[in-house]
């Protein structure tokens, strides 16, 4: 079962998912703090390089299956042209209307 993006609880996370699915890198980056960080499968990565390689240059798309923690944790089917489709978990730290950190990895 997929949760419609418009139904996601946290408005910042909702706009971030919309930016991913709309392939709108500028909107995505605009939702991050200037010092935002991220990790993939437990390893910190260079955020700008990662979002280009895994999301925006690779046709990334997220279908949310479940949300928890006030909408800051998502279980989602994520797919891109490099890795295909996989079950992933995303955790977002949201402060003052921006994401300061997100962590993702296989579920």
Q: 47-102 pLDDT, tens per residue?
A: 999 999 999 999 999 999 999 999 999 999 999 999 999 999 999 999 999 999 99
Over residues 15-48, the pLDDT tens digits come to 999 999 999 999 999 999 999 999 999 999 999 9
Segments forming the whole domain that contains residue 77: 5-106
Q: How many domains does the chain have?
A: 1
- Closest alpha carbon to 66 in 48, 45, 89, 85: 89
Task: Report pTM.
Answer: 0.95
**Integer angstrom CA distances of residue 36 from 33, 48, 74:** 5, 10, 19
Do the beta carbons of residue 31 and residue 47 sit within 8 Å?
no
CATH number of the domain at 16, please.
Answer: 3.10.450.50
């Amino acid at each position: 079962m997929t949760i419609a993006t418009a139904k996601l609880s946290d408005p910042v996370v909702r706009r971030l998912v919309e930016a991913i699915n709309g392939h709108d890198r500028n909107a995505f980056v605009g939702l991050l703090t200037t010092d935002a960080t991220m990790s993939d499968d437990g390893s910190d990565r260079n955020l700008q390089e990662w979002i280009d390689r895994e999301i925006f240059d690779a046709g990334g798309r997220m279908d949310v299956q479940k949300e928890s923690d006030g909408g800051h944790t998502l279980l989602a089917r994520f797919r891109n042209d490099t890795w295909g489709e996989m079950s992933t978990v995303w955790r977002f730290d949201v402060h003052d209307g921006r994401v300061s950190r997100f962590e993702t990895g296989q579920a």
